[in-house]
């Protein structure tokens, strides 16, 4: 498989696998399976592993907040919005290009959506477009078109309205510096070469978010349920690696971006491309008359997508592409390519070659 779908998920880093194994197979201290809440030595060792992971994840987030582990970003977003809305009842507003996790919560809470411009960037809203004493949800990097939103500026307006700001930072976490400003930040491990099934909600100190899961006293009484030392150790190792390699990864990704643009002449890019406006590990492109679904099947040795992994299979056209003003036909002629740390130039060229050959079958040379 030629993997060009880094926005859907990323391969597990070898270092992450190494960090997880002792806690999976029971070799850490000889007793790696222990419950991290248990009072004896093995339990305390597991608890130390969890706390070291928490510190590593926190190091990639702004100062002045606490990290609570969750099952992923979807859970973190549900927690922030549903529990937050109980204490911030002024209403929920989010960008029209939020991931399904945010969109579905906003819809269920009777909230509204802010339109984005043609390049997939959210203009900083006027104060009266935001709720008073509510919650404003804006993602940092869009998962379909890679555009980077002005999160800090939006947080400022939200705060002026006495609202909290939730940032879905999933696609920016570990790749770019997370801006200060949000009160709540949702992240996940599997987009930074960590394991699936673990994420976190960062809560700014002083933000009185009610607890989510009720039960045991885990996660400082905020999210009950036994945490997995293996998943935490993996998340922590992935975060440490991301911190060490942030600049190198970004430079690598930018090199691949240049190659892809060179190879894909005749295609149009969806979303902004300016410096600082886009994560260059995402290329969402379209070509008039191309049937993207057919392309996907004709280039089946390449793993790429038509939009978010969560929306695929629904047959619906991407809400993000529609929100930036594309017609249904243009949206159906668009594909999403994503690359990252472990994508070599050869792999990228091979994948693009296969996609171009599949487009040629449709008469697009």
Catalytically active residues are: 310
Residues whose CB falls within 8 Å of the CB of residue 309, separated by 6 or more in sequence, listed in order? 5, 7, 8, 9
Q: Which is nearer to ligand PLP, 99 or 240 (CB)?
A: 99
| Cα distances (angstroms) measured from residue 71 to each of 75, 237, 315 | 6, 17, 27
Residue identified by tokens 């002005």 is 150
Residue 74 binds ligand PLP, judged by CB under 6 A: yes
Q: Quick one: which segment of 72-80, 123-131, 256-264, 348-356 binds ligand PLP (CB under 6 A)?
A: 72-80
Contact 336, 7 (CB under 8 A): yes
Tokens of 9: 């998920």
Tokens of 205: 């100190």
Q: Quick one: which segment of 85-93, 167-175, 224-232, 248-256 binds ligand PLP (CB under 6 A)?
A: 167-175
- Supply the minimum distance, in Å, between the C-beta of residue 311 and ligand PLP: 10
Residue identified by tokens 């935001």 is 130
Q: Which is nearer to ligand PLP, 16 or 359 (CB)?
A: 16
Select from 88, 99, 240, 341 the one that contacts ligand PLP (CB under 6 A). Answer: 99
Select from 163, 171, 218, 284 the one that contacts ligand PLP (CB under 6 A). Answer: 171
Contact 259, 344 (CB under 8 A): no
Using DSSP, how many helices (H) and how many strands (E) does the chain show?
11, 12
Select from 42, 73, 103, 233 the one that contacts ligand PLP (CB under 6 A). Answer: 73
- Per-residue contact track with ligand PLP, 189 to 228, x per CB under 6 A? ----------x-----------------------------
Residue 305: which H helix or E strand, with range? none
Helix axes 345-361, 229-263, angle to 10 degrees: 60
- Supply the minimum distance, in Å, between the C-beta of residue 69 and ligand PLP: 12
Interface positions with ligand PLP (CB under 6 A) = 72-74, 99, 101, 139, 143, 168, 170-171, 188, 199, 309-310
């Amino acid at each position: 498989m030629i993997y060009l779908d880094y926005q859907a998920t990323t391969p597990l880093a070898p270092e992450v696998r190494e960090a997880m194994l002792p806690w999976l197979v029971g070799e850490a201290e000889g007793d790696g399976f222990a419950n991290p809440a248990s009072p004896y030595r093995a339990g305390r060792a597991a608890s130390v592993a969890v706390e070291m992971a928490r510190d590593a994840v926190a190091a990639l987030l702004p100062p002045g907040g606490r990290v609570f582990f969750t099952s992923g970003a979807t859970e973190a977003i549900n927690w922030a919005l549903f529990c937050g809305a109980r204490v911030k009842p002024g209403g929920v507003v989010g960008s029209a290009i939020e991931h399904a996790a945010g969109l579905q919560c906003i819809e269920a809470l009777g909230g509204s959506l802010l339109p984005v411009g043609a390049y997939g960037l959210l203009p900083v809203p006027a104060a009266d477009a935001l709720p008073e004493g509510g919650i404003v949800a804006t993602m940092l990097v869009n998962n379909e078109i890679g555009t980077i939103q002005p999160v800090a500026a939006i947080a400022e307006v939200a705060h002026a309205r006495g609202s909290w700001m939730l940032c879905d930072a999933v696609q920016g976490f570990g790749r770019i510096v997370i801006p200060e400003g949000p009160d709540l930040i949702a992240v996940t491990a599997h987009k930074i070469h960590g394991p699936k099934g673990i994420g976190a909600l960062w809560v700014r100190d002083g933000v009185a978010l009610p607890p989510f899961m009720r039960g045991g006293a885990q996660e400082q009484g905020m999210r009950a349920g036994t945490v997995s030392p293996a998943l935490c150790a993996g998340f922590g190792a992935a975060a440490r690696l991301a911190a060490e390699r942030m600049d190198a990864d970004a430079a690598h990704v930018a090199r691949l971006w240049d190659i892809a643009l060179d190879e894909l002449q005749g295609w149009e890019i969806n979303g902004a491309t300016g410096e600082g406006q886009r994560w260059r590990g995402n290329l969402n492109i379209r070509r008039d008359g191309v049937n993207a679904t057919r392309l996907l099947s004709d280039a089946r040795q390449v793993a790429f997508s038509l939009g978010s992994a969560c929306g695929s299979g629904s047959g619906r056209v991407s809400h993000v592409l529609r929100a930036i003003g594309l017609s249904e036909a243009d949206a159906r002629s668009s594909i999403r390519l994503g690359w990252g740390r472990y994508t070599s130039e050869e792999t990228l060229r091979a994948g693009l070659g296969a996609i171009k050959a599949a487009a040629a079958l449709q008469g697009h040379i």
